[in-house]
Amino acid sequence: MDHAASAPLIDPFARPITYLRVSVTDRCDFRCVYCMAEHMQFLPKAELLTLEELDRLCSAFVGLGVRKLRITGGEPLVRRGIMGFFRQMSRHLGSGLEELTLTTNGSQLGRFAGELVDCGVQRVNVSLDTLQADKFASITRWGRLPQVLDGIAAAKAAGLRIKINVVALKGVNDDELFDLVRWCGDEGFDLTFIEVMPMGDLGNENRLDQYWPLNDLRKQLAERFTLIDLAERTGGPARYVRLQETGQKIGFITPLTHNFCESCNRVRLTCTGELYMCLGQEDRADLRAPLRASEDDQPLRHAIRAAIAHKPKGHDFDYSRQSVSGQMPRHMSHTGG
């Protein structure tokens, strides 16, 4: 491969693209209200990339400078044969890829935590918005909290580092702020709060009513704890503080109150081979066609570079003036979070 072919991916705003989020399935065993409709119409399985095709795509990105690979869904661990895919991806660790990880709802961690560690996964993000069983059932529609807590315990026992992701929902889990902080501190888990984004079917879920700005959440934390701002970044959009009194780390992902686009280093690949250059824009590139058109990866690499050349400066999410702007009609599960 010549130097031009192997040169790293740089977008039009001089941002190196080193982080790929890959949705391996649009299916999930939950129906979280901010992510999916209750009665989802899932894609025909024939439209999904095979695990071998996902391997080729991810390997091409690693060859072009991607250093962090996050596997998402839907729920990635419900895809049949997924651990074989993790085993295949682990061959890149130490040979370009620095981190292989996943975001999960935790329901299948009891089955797979040990295998994930064997595949070189060192940490996982678990989406968990409440510690109350009835509220959990309401948010996830189909989920059972004890199953998830058992899965998290299994992951901890297997040696995985755990970060809990909480979508901040006004009127839903705003009364659990300190309970969640305390639980994560006791368990040794990092914790990140995420502002709810205007995506999916807003006819059924009023995102404006649910919107809990994280600057308000942070003010509540500051009334009880001393917050020390941290300079560290983990390759994602979160900004971190440390609670001086407990030592634990809290992250804030704020696509609305504080746009983080200036440092965006990531793109998202769907389970059908569409590459979204921005979560909050509809621009996308079809990588399935060049992938299937040739066994040679050169056309695929060219298609990836052409897509990165169209990466926008940022998204347009906005809840100002008591209305929802920049709304995305696709469900979060389609793009992989």
197 is in an annotated binding site: yes
Q: Is 103 annotated as a binding residue?
A: yes
What amino acid is encoded at 75 in this protein? E
268 annotated as a binding-site residue = yes
Strands (E) across the chain are located at: 19-23, 68-72, 99-104, 123-127, 161-168, 190-195, 227-230, 239-243, 249-253, 266-269, 274-276, 284-286
199-208 as b/e: b if 16+ CB within 10 A = bbeeeeeebe
User: For tokens 């994560």, what's the residue?
Assistant: 184
Q: 21, 152, 177: which is closest to 99 by C-alpha?
A: 21
**266 a known binding residue?**
yes
Q: 267: annotated binding-site residue?
A: yes
Beta-strand (E) ranges in 188-337? 190-195, 227-230, 239-243, 249-253, 266-269, 274-276, 284-286
C-alpha to C-alpha distance for 253 and 255, rounded to whole angstroms: 6
Residue 261, annotated as binding a ligand: yes
CA–CA dist 58, 66 (Å, integer): 9
Q: Tell whether residue 34 is among the known ligand binding residues.
A: yes
Report the SS3 class of residue 67.
coil
Does the annotation flag 264 for ligand binding? yes
Q: Edge-to-edge strands of the sheet including 266-269?
A: 227-230, 239-243, 249-253, 190-195, 161-168, 123-127, 99-104, 68-72, 19-23, 266-269, 274-276, 284-286
Q: How many CA atoms lie within 13 A of 184 on its CB side?
A: 31
Annotated binding residue 271: no
Please state the residue numbers annotated as binding site for S-adenosyl-L-methionine: 34, 74, 127, 197
Please state the residue numbers annotated as binding site for [4Fe-4S] cluster: 28, 32, 35, 261, 264, 278
Please state the residue numbers annotated as binding site for GTP: 21, 70, 103, 163, 266-268
Please state the residue numbers annotated as binding site: 21, 28, 32, 34-35, 70, 74, 103, 127, 163, 197, 261, 264, 266-268, 278
